[in-house]
Amino acid sequence: MTKNYSYPVFPANQFFLERPRIHCLLEKALESNVVIINAGEGYGKTYAVSSFLQGRPETTIWIQESELDNDPWHFWEKYARATGQCKARAGEELLEIGFPQTAQQFSKWHDLDRREFGPPGKYVIVRDDFHCIKSRIILDFLERILSFPILTHTLILICRNEPEINLVPVLSRGRLSRIDAEDLRFSREEIAAYFDMRRIELAAEEITGIHQATEGWPLMLGPLAAEIQKSGGKYDRAVSEKIIFRIFKDDLFVSVPPQMRGYLVKLSFFDQWPLELLKKTAGVLPEQYHNPLTLFAEIGKLGALVRYDYYMQGYHIHSVFLDYLREKQKELSREEIKNVSAIAAQWYFRNNLKMDAAVNFERAGNYAALENIVNSFSRIVPRPAAVPAGNIARSPFG
């Protein structure tokens, strides 16, 4: 059996499904030196890793990171304490060495690491909530470790967004594995197994409906199962949407910085969010979000609600979340709507997306630009695209 140290404890009244498919992914990933588990809130990252490591032959040292660990001494003390539960003398030595800030300290740590955690046997060090670590001193230390030709253990980083460290050294050696949100989403079969575990009998079409409504987001399944049990085992799509709305309101949207909330509501005028469009509209945000990397990292925290689509080079929004944001559009001023629409219209126009440009020029109240676009359409256009001149003057934004 695996020896686990500082292992996470899960509430006894919660239901967790063991997923062989995820275990197979982790089994393969464990062959690497570094494993990145990167997904937003509610994807079951911690449980997936901890349940997999139970019963494994490797010795696991689990470290739960927090904002406090951006202090090098706090970071090092927690690391030493977790290590000491596995090897008491090694933990004491780590405290004696202190956080490596000199070449001598680093050399002592390296000697200890090779001596205590090298073969025989294999060690896994898990750093959960690694996204909390922002300190450049600590990140530089970890980058230096990853530059070693040979690592003595496997490091698993569980995080809500991409770690701010250089992973090129391990990537170039083929020693990096990744598991992301798409991997962790529940498949239709896994959703069926989850409700079977909860002793809730559902028809095949109901399972399909739940899969479509939740998009496989694990966070949704527990509250949805409880609601179905409360209603006598009956599933209704309206019930799932009600729960999603509640989670958005009570758990997730309130955690978004206030200045970002208004921005997301403005973006809800668009069905999808290409990266270039986000960059262009970022000007309506406070200055700290003008850096695209900061902006994308903040949006990435929304996890299941907003997921990156590599094909479209932008973000896909959960349909119910988009509806939720659109409900809040009434809180925007006419001027705010016009400003963001004007920026979007120009971007769509430059990218030859005339239909989208036309819609946004209309929202922005730029009817001259709208008329030019309409006149540029071919003679036969879909009825929704044909905006009669008489209707333009009656625009709610004009």
Confidence of residue 397 (pLDDT cuts 50, 70, 90): very low
CA distance 50 to 46: 6
CATH number of the structural domain spanning residue 321: 1.10.10
Query: At residue 61, what are phi and psi to the nearest 5 degrees?
Result: -110, 115
| DSSP code at position 365 | T
pLDDT digits (tens, 9 = 90+) for 60-113: 899 988 888 999 998 999 899 889 888 889 999 999 999 999 999 999 998 998
- Taking a C-beta distance cutoff of 8 angstroms, is the pair 237, 218 a contact? no
The CATH number linked to 126 is: 3.40.50.300
Q: Are residues 53 and 149 in the same domain?
A: yes
3-state SS class at 386: coil
The closest alpha carbon to 137, from 96, 107, 95, 165, belongs to 165
State whether the Cα torsion 387-392-395-397 is positive or negative: positive
3-state secondary structure of 15: coil
Q: How far apart are CA 117 and CA 4, in angstroms?
A: 15
Which of 200, 220, 253 terminates a domain? The answer is 253
Rounded Cα gap, residues 187 and 124, in angstroms: 28
Confidence of residue 285 (pLDDT cuts 50, 70, 90): confident
Query: For position 196, what pLDDT does the model report?
Result: 93
User: pTM higher than 0.85 for the full model?
Assistant: no
DSSP 3-state percent helix, strand, coil across the chain (nearest 5): 60, 10, 30
CA–CA distance, 93 with 80 (Å, rounded to integer): 8
Does the pLDDT at position 141 exceed 90? yes
- 112 and 141 inside one domain: yes
Q: Which domain holds residue 130?
A: 4-184
Last residue of a domain, one of 133, 167, 184: 184
The last residue of a domain, from among 213, 237, 253: 253
Mean pLDDT of 30-55: 88
Phi, psi of 271, rounded to the nearest 5 degrees: -70, -30
Same structural domain, 319 and 348: no
The answer to whether residues 201 and 101 belong to one domain is no
End-to-end Cα separation, the chain, in angstroms: 70
> Is 144 found in the same domain as 33?
yes
Do 17 and 152 have their domain in common? yes
Decide if pLDDT at 393 tops 60: no
Same domain membership, residue 316 and residue 262: yes
Would you state the pLDDT for residue 120? 66
Same domain, 27 and 95: yes
* Predicted confidence (pLDDT) at residue 262 exceeds the cutoff of 50: yes
Say if residues 61 and 122 touch (Cβ distance below 8 Å): no
State percent of the chain over pLDDT 70: 81
Instruction: Report helix, strand or coil for 52.
Output: helix
Contact indicator for 22, 216 with CB cutoff of 8 Å:
no
Distance between CA atoms of residues 40 and 183, nearest Å: 12
Task: Kindly state whether residues 26 and 164 are assigned to the same domain.
Answer: yes
pLDDT averaged over every residue in the chain: 80
Does 127 lie in the same domain as 269? no
Q: How many domains does the chain have?
A: 4
The answer to whether residue 176 scores a pLDDT higher than 90 is yes
For 352-381, b where at least 16 C-beta lie within 10 A, e where not — what string?
ebbebbbbbbbbbbbbebbeebbeeeeeee
**Which of 220-229, 241-250, 289-298 has the largest mean confidence?**
220-229
Same domain, residue pair 301 and 361: no
**Tens digits of per-residue pLDDT, 364-385?**
888 888 888 877 765 444 445 4
Q: How confident is the model at residue 350 (pLDDT cuts 50, 70, 90)?
A: confident
Confidence class for position 13, pLDDT limits 50, 70, 90: low
Residues 214 and 93 in one domain: no
* Torsion angle defined by CA atoms of residues 57, 59, 60 and 61, in that order, rounded to the nearest 10 degrees: 180
* Predicted local confidence at residue 398, as pLDDT: 35
Q: Give percent above pLDDT 90 in the chain.
A: 25
